[in-house]
Amino acid sequence: MQDALYCVYGASGCGRGIMPLAREQARALGMAADRLVFVDDAAQPGQVLNGQRVLSYEAFMAEPAGTRFAALAIANSAVRAKLAARLEADGVRPWTVAASNVVVMDEVELGEGALLSPFVTLTSNIRIGRFFHANLYSYVEHDCVIGDFVTFAPGVQCNGNIVIEDRAYIGTGAVIKQGRPGEPLVIGRGAVVGMGAVVTKSVPAGATVVGNPARVMQK
Ligand code: UDP
């Protein structure tokens, strides 16, 4: 049986931020250093990035391996969803990568393939779907429900009793006001919350909101 092969999929900004965490996790699993690679569809032959090989997806699949694992380190939700479907079809397992200083409190359900950057906190009684990204210093407070392929840029403050539906993107430093028990503030499916927005009420699916208080941007 060949050794497992692990990758950070995406060799750009997001991936370069995740690779050191992945490396630390790989070391803790006792993996040889060369069993962790970047995968990128724009890989150049022989490319090395920050000390790690960069393979095309085809080369990653062709490399002899037992089980293959991938951490999807691309911020764009739609791209993540497309790639997750391909990985699943090819039998590549989702890999959750979390910084060693992430704080996770009680009763947190975290879906597969999450990426949790340094200084992230998930407090208590939270449900999070698949392939969640929480970038540096973001937090999720009590009683939140977060869907699949949701992305938090750095410093997102997601307070209590908030529902964030699938594929929503929350920009850097956004603050989301807490909802009430049984009456959550809802960020709709695929909505985009702009950088620094202060969200005081629910956001419709697909809308982009900006400012303080956050308002829907007309297209
Ligand atoms: N990418 C890929 N397959 C795709 C879409 C994107 O391998 O289907 C790669 C792309 O080549 C790039 C990275 O993912 O290297 C995305 O980088 P970008 O700077 O756009 O976003 P971020 O790193 O911030 O998520």
Domain map of the chain by residue range?
A: 5-95, 98-213
Q: How far apart are CA 203 and CA 209, in angstroms?
A: 7
133 annotated active-site: no
Identify which of 158, 198, 205 has the alpha carbon closest to the alpha carbon of residue 178: 158
Tokens 């392939």 appear where? 131
The phi-psi region of residue 35 (left if phi > 0; otherwise alpha if psi is between -120 and 50; otherwise beta) is: alpha
For ligand 1, pick from 9, 14, 49, 74 the residue to mutate: most ligand atoms within 8 Å of CB.
74
Residue 150 beta carbon below 6 angstroms from any ligand 1 atom: no
The answer as to CATH 2.160.10.10 being correct for domain 98-213 is yes
Q: Closest residue (by CA) to atom 3 of ligand 1?
A: 41
Return the pLDDT at 2: 77
d(CA 146, CA 126): 8
Ligand 1 centroid from CA 39, angstroms: 10
- Closest approach atom of ligand 1 to CA 14: 23
Taking only the tens of pLDDT, the chain with its 219 residues reads: 679 999 999 999 999 999 999 999 999 999 999 999 999 999 999 999 999 999 999 999 999 999 999 999 999 999 999 999 999 999 999 999 999 999 999 999 999 999 999 999 999 999 999 999 999 999 999 999 999 999 999 999 999 999 999 999 999 999 999 999 999 999 999 999 999 999 999 999 999 999 999 999 987
191 CB near ligand 1 (under 6 Å): no
Burial profile 130-147: b = 16 or more Cβ within 10 angstroms, e = fewer: bbbbbbbbbbbbbbbbbb
Please pick, among 53, 68, 133, 142, the residue that the annotation labels catalytic. Answer: 142
CATH architecture of 5-95: 3-Layer(aba) Sandwich (3.40)
Contact 116, 134 (CB under 8 A): yes
pLDDT given at position 1: 61
Q: For the chain, what's the residue count? A: 219
Estimate to the nearest angstrom the gap between the alpha carbon of 181 and the chain centroid.
Answer: 26
